[in-house]
Structure 1
Amino acid sequence: MAAEGSRYTVEELASKVGMSPRNIRAHQTRSLLSAPIRRGRTAYYDESHVRRLEAIKSLQRQGYNLVAIEAILGVRSPEPAGEALELLLQRLGREQPGLVHALARHGVLVRGENGSVEMVRSRLMRSVVGLNRAGVHTVPSLQMLSEVLDRLRLIAEDLVRSTGQRIVSATPTLRAGAMSTWDELDTRTDLLTNSMIGLLTEAFRVALENFGPTAMPDLLAEWGGESPLHPHGSPTIDIG
């Protein structure tokens, strides 16, 4: 039951929006949700928190991840683009709305309030420009990127869960019951999450760097000089 004046404890808010208290606190940590109002030792949430959480849930149902949601809701500022990327983003917005939406679900791009396409993950987009300079058309590169992200999403979920379970099972002090306050749990969770993401990211980079330099020459030789993206002739640059 809601507190007087449409105020809710975290448990009441969780019940109202169908979300766990832990997730609510996690959204606060990411600045997706504003801090509650404290009355003595109790924290209260209001209808603005309800609306915000409903907006987050709606975007998640549409397939957006938290990075994309941060950009859509104005928590994460889009990153500045160079001239080549700016032209590419404008062109994508006009000619490839479906592709923009697919990449926005992964938090790579986001549509601004004025309909413009803005960049959230600059490193990924700059890699696409790098492929373009190597002779690969941009749209096929981005389509491949979207497909790769779809595949990696499932792999990442499995890796995070399996790696996280091993870490927690081997470290009793990381278990929720070993921590005295929610703040301590939130802080430890953030540190663990960021460290594990860093570990898995660098491990994947090492695996690719070990395999890529040998695999690409073999693939090019196998195709007899033709690119699978351009089977009828030489590739052309398509930014501009």
Structure 2
Amino acid sequence: MAVEAGITVRTLRFYRERKLLAPPRREGRIAWYDDRHLARLRTISALLERGHTLNGIAELAEAFEQGRGVADVLGVGAPTEEEPVRLTPEELADRFAGQVTPENLAAALELGYLGTDGDEIVHVSRRLLDVSSELVARGVPLAAVLAAGREVRVHAEALAALFEGLVRDHVPERDVTRLRPLARSAVEAEVSLALDRRLSSGGDRRGPL
């Protein structure tokens, strides 16, 4: 296993002692490692190459282990128009240019943006992933993006409840889900108009825009 991962046996034992690696299956004095161990070792190596420390990797691993599974985050059988995205930890690190700290990861897991599936990470929405990574690429700290996401979530829940109440009062139950595109279009148009008003008037420079 150490040879396949490109490390020494001593390093392998050190990772086990630091709890960066799950214990192998044992048969007598023989330790058996599997593909999950190899994937974790390669992830550790990749994150080290990207500037993460072993302590930081250990904290990231702990955050992953405390996070919810992908089924809990996505909701089995729940209707959605969003496309989930599977990522390795190193792909997530590359997306956000070294800002995948334990604190930011915990915030993303708490918001339900991320779920875990073994050694893979699942982001619930390709659109949100693309927008957030683009904001970070343009200089907005990931912590600020996540804080804004928390505020947006509150308003989005209120808007969803408003539209749901509107259609349930006037539309047959079977047609409620079909009207989701109308709700999305209405919200997108209102946000676009609000941005127009703020940008044309100079906006409140103390605000997020």
TM-score (norm 1): 0.44
